[in-house]
Amino acid sequence: MSEQIRRNVERILRELQPGVILEAAAKTRAPEEILQAIEAGVKIVGQNYVQEAERAFAVIGHRAKWHMIGHLQRNKVKRALGVFDMIETLDSLPLAAEIERRCQGRTIPVLIEVNSGREPQKSGVLPEDLLDFAKEVARFPHLRVLGLMTMGPRFGDPEAARPYFRLTKELFGTLDALGLPKVEMRYLSMGMSNTYQLAVEEGANIVRIGSMIFGERPKA
């Protein structure tokens, strides 16, 4: 099993274009599995839940960078900041305010999550609200916007996700060209196991991969 994780990571790293960062999406995985991925070369671990991240962090610590990739509730911000190096899922101004309030003088790198599919049940900032949102976030002294993250709608056919990645890349370019102070378009986080190749074709430089590293998640 661990041998398989190592082989998967090595293969993905070999095949990824230079400049594209592999993030292991580690929800439901045991710390031992995550460690195998780190030993094979993963530098960033994505977690969806604060409590699960705390458990893994207690074992693994600073052997990797930790990114929050799930919806972050305001009442979990304090604990989240104890673990995460970056919040990829900034999606509201009240959440930004809470991060500012809890940061203890640290500068917190964030990505703005874009709801590129305009799906009502999903979190993220709508494309048309993104510019104003980024300007507002930049006013918080300790938040540093370093890019965008999107999930995009889930389809049977991965190719169907492409327009949503393309849209997010366009927004990334627009924000970049605006050159807002404290808003730096450095990271574009998009693509999962079944879509990361086309996400990279559309400009992603962080890909979040779970099942292709760790195997299929057991169905609940």
| Measured CA distances, 166 to 52, 171, 172, 219 (Å) | 32, 9, 10, 31
Sole residue written with tokens 């009240």:
94
140 or 209, CB closer to ligand PLP?
Answer: 209
Using the minimum distance from each CB to ligand PLP, give the nearer residue, 99 or 204: 204
Give the interface size with ligand PLP as a residue count (CB under 6 A): 12
Q: Which is nearer to ligand PLP, 169 or 208 (CB)?
A: 208
Residues 8-27 that bind ligand PLP (CB under 6 A): 25, 27
Q: Name which of residues 176 to 205 contact ligand PLP (CB under 6 A).
A: 192-193
Q: Are 125 and 133 in contact (CB under 8 A)?
A: yes
Does 73 participate in binding ligand PLP (rule CB under 6 A)?
no
DSSP 63-85: GSEEEE-SPPPGGGHHHHHHH-S
Q: Rounded to an integer, what distance in angstroms lies between the CA atom of residue 39 and that of residue 9?
A: 9
Find the shortest distance in angstroms from Cβ 168 to ligand PLP. 14
Q: Does 211 bind ligand PLP (CB under 6 A)?
A: yes
Among 37, 69, 143, 171, binds ligand PLP (CB under 6 A): 69
Q: Give the C-alpha separation, 20 to 114, whole Å.
A: 20
H-helix or E-strand containing 167? Answer: helix 162-178
Q: Which amino acid is at 208?
A: R
As beta bridge partners, residue 108 has 143
Interactions with ligand PLP, residue window 34-53 (CB under 6 A): 48
- Which CB sits closer to ligand PLP, 40 or 151? 151
The residues binding ligand PLP (CB under 6 A) are: 25, 27, 48, 69, 151, 192-193, 208-212
